[in-house]
Chains A and B, each alone.
Chain A
């Protein structure tokens, strides 16, 4: 007779529209002491997480005040980093962070999207899980091991093979000028690309897989080739891939060990990939223990603060994009 559909039982622990978690604090629930203690203990710890982040921001800000007050905006625009004379301008590090991350992104993005397409559209079923697993394992390798690999395997290769080749054939482009050290921007960019590739690839794959099969079927029904169907899927995945890219970028700017072990750690601004450089993260790693004066330490902490803000902005933007993408799909499908 009537087909049985389970009556919609709402989530048993979801809160009613009106009640805020604050009211739970004021009236002890079902007159049960145990519930009251438990509820408020968990609430306390959740609040602890919130206050931790706020505390971090506050502490870093106050400890950078000496540097902020002394240098103001010139901290970001000056490229003089002279501990001896107490002159601190962070531009080389900001440049280095952005440049190396950009290189990493430019290498990683096409590869990641290629992998995502492969896993989502082309790969036979049995191959998908193992390959996905391997890609995700790339993300699990500790930074220090990447650094080790960078120092002893990658930079000699760059120094002896790749950079001379690029310098000989493309040396007229400013990107490829200068002596091939091996260590430098290119090394940093390459190693970063390896580290952010898994993030971008797995999120892009998830985004593409979330697109309903009916879209592909419609494309095929119209006579599209596999690639043409993929292009359609890609256009629907654009914002998700953008979000993934931002997340990858967020990871790249914060990467410390692998970068500092191969970038050469020289605070100079150069547009050649062969030249050494420095990043915000690597200067912290190298010089924090050597900071002798309060101003020196304060400047370093200000760099940490800048890095903090940068990663928060990138991550928040990424989350927002991913969130709005999933909302769109929930609404449409």
Chain B
């Protein structure tokens, strides 16, 4: 009967579509593995102790390292965190305490807006706010751009983690005659600490991986510098500069630096997902 053949066709079609969906998952994951594979194979050979401890060598010479880039990224993240963490956590506390007011809704919306702004645009803002008045590129400007980037991430994580804490702890604490601010600071915040901490790590990982906002704020520096009012090297700009160069050795070093970056970022991401999955379980 015609209906049986039609049914068989519907079923076959179903199998085909399912296979296609499975295939798309594979297709998407192939580049992931490819990226890991190539980063490993092209970068591993250049990873050695001197890579982490030496300064870049002059153009054309082989060898050298990215010590200044590593410390530079560290300093930039420190500056960024000193802006992003306090603002983010305190704003997050406010948003968690006032969930429905108009002001909160506006701030929450703007936080999401800030989150969606491309990092290069944030670099432009940092340029306007810091580089122009200071009349020079500086680590400070780079740090400010990273800080602005971190604010929405930290705010969102702080708010979400605080919201997860059951209201009954707050009630119990207030019921004991503990004031509101002590309740938030000494009962609720410690309970949310683990989640917030890993969220902060995630935002640091994100900031560490940024290149665009640093290009015209911190600029870059082939020499060792830890001064806040001077341009400073960074891991990401190091990769960018060395990838553009015509020297094979430099290209290899770019891969090596990328390997370091990717391992760091992946580790933090995996930790974050494990910690937050446990909460939902």
Partner-B contacts on A (CB < 8 A): 9, 11-15, 20-22, 29-30, 32, 34-35, 37-39, 41-50, 52-53, 55-56, 59-60, 63, 110-115, 117-119, 122, 129, 131, 133-138, 140-149, 151-153, 194, 197, 201, 225-228, 230, 247, 250-251, 253-257, 261, 281, 284-285, 288-289, 300-301, 304, 307-308, 311-312, 314-316, 319
* A63–B126 CA distance with the chains assembled, in angstroms: 13
Contact between A49 and B107, CB atoms less than 8 A apart: yes
* Interfacial chain B residues near A140, Cβ < 8 Å: 205, 265-266, 269
Tell yes or no: B38 within 8 A of A by CB: yes
* Interfacial chain A residues near B101, Cβ < 8 Å: 15, 20-21
Contact between B90 and A45, CB atoms less than 8 A apart: yes
Known: A115-B21, A115-B28, A141-B35. A225 touches B10 (CB 8 A): yes
8 sample A-B contacts, Cβ–Cβ < 8 Å, listed by A number: A9-B171, A43-B94, A45-B94, A56-B117, A59-B129, A118-B24, A226-B18, A256-B211
Interface centre among B112, B113, B114, B265 (most CB of A within 10 A): B113
* Interfacial chain B residues near A308, Cβ < 8 Å: 117, 121
* Interfacial chain B residues near A284, Cβ < 8 Å: 120-121, 123-124, 212
Contact between A45 and B205, CB atoms less than 8 A apart: no
Closest-CB distance, B36 to chain A (whole angstroms) = 9
* Interfacial chain A residues near B182, Cβ < 8 Å: 34
Known: A136-B273, A311-B118. A49 touches B179 (CB 8 A): no
9 A-B pairs with least C-beta separation: A254-B118, A114-B24, A142-B209, A38-B181, A227-B14, A42-B94, A315-B116, A45-B90, A225-B14
* A289–B120 CA distance with the chains assembled, in angstroms: 13
Tell yes or no: B236 within 8 A of A by CB: yes
Tell yes or no: B155 within 8 A of A by CB: yes
Contact between A45 and B87, CB atoms less than 8 A apart: yes
* A46–B11 CA distance with the chains assembled, in angstroms: 55
* A225–B7 CA distance with the chains assembled, in angstroms: 9
Tell yes or no: B29 within 8 A of A by CB: yes
Contact with A along B29-63 (1 / 0, CB 8 A): 10110110011001000000000000000000000
18 additional contacts, CB 8 Å, given A48-B87, A113-B24, A281-B212?
A: A13-B97, A21-B98, A46-B104, A52-B148, A55-B129, A59-B129, A122-B22, A133-B273, A137-B269, A142-B209, A143-B211, A144-B211, A225-B11, A226-B14, A247-B116, A254-B116, A288-B124, A288-B216
* A56–B113 CA distance with the chains assembled, in angstroms: 12
Tell yes or no: B229 within 8 A of A by CB: no
Closest-CB distance, A156 to chain B (whole angstroms) = 12
Contact between B17 and A227, CB atoms less than 8 A apart: yes
* Interfacial chain B residues near A144, Cβ < 8 Å: 209, 211, 236, 239-240, 258, 261
**CB within 8 A of A285: which of B106, B111, B120, B184?**
B120
Our count of residue pairs bridging A and B at CB distance below 8 angstroms stands at 284
Closest-CB distance, B148 to chain A (whole angstroms) = 7
Interface centre among A115, A152, A312 (most CB of B within 10 A): A115
Known: A114-B25, A304-B124. A254 touches B117 (CB 8 A): yes
Contact between A315 and B185, CB atoms less than 8 A apart: no
Contact between A256 and B120, CB atoms less than 8 A apart: yes
* A314–B121 CA distance with the chains assembled, in angstroms: 15
Tell yes or no: B86 within 8 A of A by CB: yes
Contact between B35 and A118, CB atoms less than 8 A apart: no
Contact between A250 and B116, CB atoms less than 8 A apart: yes
Which chain B residues numbered 75 to 133 have a C-beta less than 8 Å away from chain A? 86-87, 90-91, 93-104, 106-107, 109-125, 127-129
* Interfacial chain B residues near A34, Cβ < 8 Å: 179, 181-182
Known: A21-B98, A50-B106, A129-B277. A11 touches B118 (CB 8 A): no
Chain A residue at minimum C-beta to C-beta distance from B43: A148
Known: A29-B180, A140-B269. A315 touches B113 (CB 8 A): yes
Closest-CB distance, A133 to chain B (whole angstroms) = 6
Contact between A41 and B90, CB atoms less than 8 A apart: yes
* A255–B238 CA distance with the chains assembled, in angstroms: 19
* Interfacial chain B residues near A261, Cβ < 8 Å: 240, 243
Tell yes or no: B210 within 8 A of A by CB: yes
* A22–B98 CA distance with the chains assembled, in angstroms: 12
Closest-CB distance, A324 to chain B (whole angstroms) = 14
* Interfacial chain A residues near B115, Cβ < 8 Å: 315
Known: A144-B211, A148-B243, A319-B109. A42 touches B14 (CB 8 A): no
Closest-CB distance, B207 to chain A (whole angstroms) = 10
Known: A144-B209, A144-B258, A253-B118. A38 touches B22 (CB 8 A): no
Contact with A along B158-199 (1 / 0, CB 8 A): 000000000100110010000111101100000000000000
Contact between B170 and A45, CB atoms less than 8 A apart: no
Tell yes or no: B153 within 8 A of A by CB: no
* Interfacial chain B residues near A138, Cβ < 8 Å: 28-29, 31-32
* A109–B24 CA distance with the chains assembled, in angstroms: 11
* A16–B116 CA distance with the chains assembled, in angstroms: 32
* Interfacial chain A residues near B179, Cβ < 8 Å: 30, 32, 34-35
Contact between B262 and A145, CB atoms less than 8 A apart: yes
* A14–B29 CA distance with the chains assembled, in angstroms: 43
Interface centre among A47, A129, A143, A227 (most CB of B within 10 A): A227
* Interfacial chain A residues near B184, Cβ < 8 Å: 38
* Interfacial chain A residues near B118, Cβ < 8 Å: 253-256, 281, 307, 311
